[in-house]
Chain A
Amino acid sequence: MAESKAGEAVIRVRDLAARFDGRTIFEHVSFEVRRGEVFVILGGSGCGKSTLLKHMIGLYPPAEGSIEVLGERMDRLEGAARTALLRRIGVMWQSGALFGSSTLAENVEVPIEEHTDLPPEARALVARVKLGLVGLSDAAGRLPAEISGGMAKRAGIARAMALDPPILFLDEPSAGLDPITSAGLDALIRQIARDLGTTFVVVTHELQSILAIGDRCIMLDKEAKGMIAEGDPRRLREESDNPVVRAFFRREVLE
């Protein structure tokens, strides 16, 4: 059930700057993510894509600017209000970040157990549903060390979705995956976005993935230390006159 109508901004990033030890990663980054879209943050290695994501989920405090998620200031909230907001987002980490000593089902149950009062039987059933949604029903009892990279990413998505969050953040979902597995993951993301109306923020540099899943995107650049493009990735590929953007989408060597 949508909390309000589609198309409205659920994340607002304004004039964000990230600095570590006086070194500027990016600055003057402003954009909005709208409800129900698959929003892609793209760029070359080292441009600060993952850093931007970690700012958006409140892991790093911004050096400048503000981040608003679901109407709340992510960078200002503390205590119970912050926990309540974190409950409403899900994050899939680059490596999956599954807990190594727990089975996949137990991994999915962790946030459910922490944040709801559901009895054990209900928790197990919800975890089963989530693993079923990502196609991992038959691997529920396996440990993270016993599954493939693609399965770990799927399990990471299942855990991120455990509490039915309206926003999912995915860090490099297709990194290190073969094209078929990667395409399967893209299809899964589209399916969840369509069926559940979930908003996705996806960090990636996989060209095919960007074109397959992205409704809108922004592109960060290491040299420019900030955003160099924003819009529909398919249109950017055709129409952008920025040489870096063109080189990125056409896989060309930048002169």
Chain B
Amino acid sequence: MSGSTASPARLESDRDGAGRRLAFHGALDAAGAARLWSEAQRAARGARPLILDLAGLTALDTAGAVLLLRLEREAGRAEWRGLPQGPLQALVERTRTALDQPQPKPAPALPFLGRVGEAAWDWGQGMLRQVIFFGEALVGTAGTLRRPWRLRLSEVLRHLDEAGLRAFGLTALLGFLIGLILAFQSSIPMRQFGAEIFIPNLVGISLLRELGPLMAAVILSGRTGSAYAAELGTMTVNEEIDALRIMGIDPIAWLVLPRLLAAMLVMPVLALVMNLSGLLGMGTVMATLGFPPVAVINQLQNWVRLKDLIGGLSKAALFGLAIGLVGCRAGLGAGRGPRAVGDAATAAVVGGIISIVLLDGVCAILFFRLGW
């Protein structure tokens, strides 16, 4: 509504009897209102009565009208002079009506204790839903075991490819680097005791038992857990999950089980890739320290047991299950709107990593009791 060629807005203020007269000139559009906003407020402060002289205006838009009405409200009452009848008058009236409409009251802020309680309640609810989801997945698995043809094999293969095959390169690279770093770091103190030959024991056992499965799980959580959450979250937002339910198809069997199965199957393989490339990295450091490969392999054969490897790989499968569960649950529990998908992906990665570390602790105790 503002004239593009109109002159910029200008304000003159002078005393008018007991009151104060503010005379606006030029185009009182968004740019003019922005420039005059504080100047006009200062000039109008304490003016009784306030006179708004608008005879010099060439243009007015909503922002300008808002400024004039703001001045009027500050002063309590204002005398409007020189506002031409017609569109400008109508604009001011419309703006006045819109500003006078009742505003919603903001919700009262909770006190600190209330917020803590709310957060704790939400956390508890989240955990409860996770447990419920675990139960649903178990029931879904039982149902699929009775009717195995319900499992979509092509879907399982797709996820195996997605989560496994495509992660091999990254896993091998990280494994190699971790083996390299571990061996190099431990070589420094070991050298003081002339014990470099024991580096393969140290790195081999820590990789096979702990670091291999754990690092592979972190990769799976970041790559695949978040992808599950984003994919299922988008489907939830688009009401695709509701559509499945209404068609009488169990989303657990249709969407979740293939993903869980894929995550569980792929994790031991990823952990194995991690282990082997880690040992290769360690071997590289040993070679630079002057130990031939045969010495390293001898050392590993004598000291690293098969159950270290088996224990680590079975732990990896458990991690895979946990990551799949947390990721799918985050996706299916997504709220509404575009932010929900992002929140679900974040929840999947954070929840996945926490759960694998917790499970790792449980496994450590369990293996100790079992004498592994």
Contacts and interface: CB of A to CB of B under 8 A. Distances in A.
A130 to B, nearest CB: 7
B31 A117 contact: yes
Interface string A216-247: 00000000000000000000000000000000
A171 to B, nearest CB: 19
Nearest to B93: A195
A141 B104 contact: yes
B355 interface: no
Interface string A137-160: 111110111000000000000000
Interface string B1-22: 1111000000000000000000
A195 B94 contact: yes
Contacts of B4: 3
A3 B87 CA distance: 13
B88 interface: yes
A112 B70 CA distance: 18
A125 B66 CA distance: 7
Nearest to A137: B101
B62 A129 contact: yes
Interface string A95-137: 0000011000000000010011111001001101111110001
Given A163-B30, A164-B1, A133 B94 contact: yes
Nearest to A135: B101
Contacts of B91: 196
Interface string A25-62: 00000000000000000000000000000000000000
B31 A101 contact: no
Nearest to B107: A141
Given A118-B30, A138-B103, A163-B30, A125 B70 contact: yes
Nearest to B6: A1
B306 interface: no
A65 interface: no
Contact of B106 (A112, A122, A141): A141
A166 B1 contact: yes
A127 B268 CA distance: 56
A122 B34 contact: yes
A120 B338 CA distance: 27
Given A1-B3, A118-B33, A130 B62 contact: yes
B338 A116 contact: no
Interface string B40-65: 00000000000000000011111101
B99 interface: yes
For chain A, the bracket of interface size reads 20 to 34
A132 B339 CA distance: 27
Contacts of A132: 97-99, 101
A197 B88 CA distance: 12
A197 B63 contact: no
A150 to B, nearest CB: 17
Nearest to A118: B34
Contacts of B58: 1
Contacts of B65: 129
Given A1-B1, A132-B99, A137-B102, A164 B62 contact: yes
Given A122-B66, A133-B94, A195-B94, A1 B101 contact: no
B62 A140 contact: no
Nearest to B57: A1
A122 B37 contact: yes
Given A3-B3, A118-B33, A195-B90, A137 B63 contact: no
Contacts of B30: 112, 115-116, 118, 126, 163-164
Contact of B61 (A128, A139, A143, A164): A164
A1 B1 CA distance: 5
B37 A119 contact: yes
B104 A118 contact: no
Given A1-B58, A1-B59, A144 B337 contact: yes
B95 interface: yes
Given A118-B34, A166-B1, A1 B60 contact: yes
B97 A126 contact: no
Contact of A1 (B62, B88, B94): B88
B5 to A, nearest CB: 8
A145 B102 contact: no
A59 B31 CA distance: 27
Interface in B320-361: 335-339
A119 B33 CA distance: 9
Interface in A52-77: none
A1 B337 contact: no
A166 B102 CA distance: 28
A131 B61 CA distance: 16
B34 A119 contact: yes
A138 B338 contact: no
A100 B61 contact: no
Interface of A: 1-3, 100-101, 112, 115-119, 122, 125-126, 128-133, 137-141, 143-145, 163-164, 166, 195-197
